[in-house]
């Protein structure tokens, strides 16, 4: 399937799943909010230009914001992780040129440990920034710390399940192909 078309469908699916499935789940505790939607940004192809990444992150976050009626909240967090993404990939990539041989970040293209680290750091930053912006508005310090840890845990669990369920086959690309 066309790469652009695939990413557009993914964009819509992630937003709809987050709004109509994950946000509708009865919360076990006020800290436990299942955030998964930002995985879209982590899955974007390696060769997306950096300015493009930030712009896509902004548009993606803002579309979710219009559903949750918090304009700017998720957009700010998504723009931040979209901006930090290339730096992290540069540090974590296993060998020289892996970002040329594979399309997008995954276990196959980056290796399990680097990929897990990549996911964990960006999840933590995303949730931390999101809850920090909420905390500016209301809540106590224990609310901030508790919610960052709880949402990060839940997000990691959800991403783990999604990676198992929807295993993305990554073809090795060479110059000759």
Partner 1 sequence: MRNIFLFIRRYFNFLFFLVLQIIALSFLFRYNKFHEAAFMGVANEITGRVGAQYSNVEYYFHLKKTNEALASQNETLLNALKDNIQSPDTASIFVKDTLSFDSLGNNARKYIWRLARVVNKSVSLQNNYLTIHRGEKQGVTKDMGVTGPDGAVGIVVNTSENFAVVMTILNRRSSISAKLKRTGEITKIHWDGDSPEFVTMTNLPVSVPVAKGDSVITSGYSLAFPPGILIGTIDEVVKDPASNFYRLKVKTATNFYNVEYVYVVDNMQAEEQKKLEEATRRNQ
By CB under 8 A, name the binding residues for partner 1: 16, 19-20, 23-27, 30, 33, 50-51, 54-55, 57-58, 61-62, 65-73, 75-76, 79-80, 83, 133-134, 137-139, 143
H helix runs in 69-175, sequence order: 73-92, 98-101, 107-110, 112-137, 141-165
Please report how close the Cβ of residue 87 comes to partner 1 at its closest, in angstroms: 11
Indicate the Cα dihedral angle 157, 69, 138, 57, nearest 10°: 50
Instruction: Give CA–CA dist 171/177, Å, rounded.
Output: 11
> Between residues 83 and 106, which has the closer beta carbon with respect to partner 1?
83
> Between residues 50 and 173, which has the closer beta carbon with respect to partner 1?
50
Are the C-beta atoms of 18 and 136 separated by less than 8 Å?
no
> Between residues 62 and 116, which has the closer beta carbon with respect to partner 1?
62
Please report how close the Cβ of residue 138 comes to partner 1 at its closest, in angstroms: 5
Are the C-beta atoms of 94 and 110 separated by less than 8 Å?
yes
> Between residues 20 and 167, which has the closer beta carbon with respect to partner 1?
20
Are the C-beta atoms of 85 and 48 separated by less than 8 Å?
no
Please report how close the Cβ of residue 60 comes to partner 1 at its closest, in angstroms: 12
């Amino acid at each position: 399937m066309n790469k652009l078309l695939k990413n557009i469908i993914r964009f819509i699916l992630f937003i709809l799943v987050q709004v109509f499935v994950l946000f509708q789940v009865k919360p076990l505790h006020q800290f436990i909010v299942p955030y998964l939607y930002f995985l879209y940004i982590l899955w974007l192809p390696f060769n997306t230009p950096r300015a493009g990444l930030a712009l896509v992150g902004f548009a993606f976050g803002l579309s979710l914001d219009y559903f949750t009626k918090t304009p700017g909240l998720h957009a700010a967090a998504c723009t931040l992780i979209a901006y930090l993404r290339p730096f992290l990939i540069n540090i974590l990539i296993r060998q020289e040129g892996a970002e040329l041989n594979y399309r997008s970040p995954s276990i196959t293209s980056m290796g399990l440990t680097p990929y897990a680290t990549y996911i964990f750091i960006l999840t933590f930053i995303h949730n931390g920034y999101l809850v920090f912006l909420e905390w500016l508005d209301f809540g106590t310090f224990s609310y901030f710390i508790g919610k960052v840890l709880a949402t990060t845990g839940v997000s990691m669990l959800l991403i783990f399940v999604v990676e198992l369920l929807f295993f993305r086959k990554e073809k090795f690309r060479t110059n000759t192909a």
